[in-house]
């Protein structure tokens, strides 16, 4: 639920920023996927943390194949989100074929019927410890 709420916050935030900077074309795509990966620190002088694995590539592709202003989810993330909120709607987006030959279906996640957009949803406050304030 936390990652999904973060995705909805991102949609709400981009709308606020778009209005603040008066740039109607400003938007973002959001992609959600569940899977496994390997992570680690690389480098000796300049340390960097990175993650690797086919599921990292799937997550990246789910986002890039998504639609601006929408939350695109993989077939793996879809049942996880449906369990979190059984009223969510999922509309087929496209099938993507990975270099390995694996085919992954993606879906655009829509709010429950009767709700026009995630942007209008009232979300719980999130405390940002580094900022010491509540998100609004």
- Mapped onto helix, strand or coil, the DSSP state of residue 49 is strand
Q: Regarding the domain delimited by 2-134, which CATH topology (the fold level of the hierarchy) does it fall under? A: Alpha-Beta Plaits (3.30.70)
DSSP secondary structure string, 57-94? Answer: HHHHHHHHTS-TTSEEEETTHHHHHHHH-TT-EEEEEE
CA distance 54 to 103: 12
How does pLDDT run across 35-56, given as a tens digit for each residue?
Answer: 999 999 999 999 999 999 999 9
- Mapped onto helix, strand or coil, the DSSP state of residue 35 is coil
Identify the H or E element spanning 96: strand 89-97
In degrees to the nearest 10, what's the CA dihedral of 107, 75, 77, 68? -20
What's the pLDDT at 116?
A: 75
What's the pLDDT at 134?
A: 42
CA distance 89 to 19: 28
Residue for token pair 């900022």: 131
C-alpha of 135 from chain center: 18
What's the pLDDT at 123?
A: 67
What's the pLDDT at 1?
A: 80
Q: Which residues of the chain have pLDDT under 50?
A: 128-136
Give the start-to-end residue ranges of the domains of the chain.
Answer: 2-134
Predicted model pTM: 0.82
What's the pLDDT at 133?
A: 42
């Amino acid at each position: 639920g936390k990652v999904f709420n973060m995705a909805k916050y991102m949609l709400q935030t981009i709308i606020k920023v778009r209005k603040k900077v008066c740039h109607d074309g400003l938007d973002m795509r959001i992609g959600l996927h569940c899977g496994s990966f390997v992570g680690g620190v690389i480098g000796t002088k300049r340390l960097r943390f990175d993650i690797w694995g086919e599921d990292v590539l799937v997550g990246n592709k789910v986002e890039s194949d998504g639609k601006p202003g929408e939350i695109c989810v993989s077939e793996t993330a879809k049942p996880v989100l449906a369990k979190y909120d059984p009223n969510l709607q999922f509309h087929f987006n496209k099938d993507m074929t990975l270099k390995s030959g694996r085919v992954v279906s993606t879906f655009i996640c829509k709010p429950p019927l009767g709700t026009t957009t995630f942007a209008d949803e009232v979300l719980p406050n999130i405390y940002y410890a580094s900022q010491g304030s509540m998100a609004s």
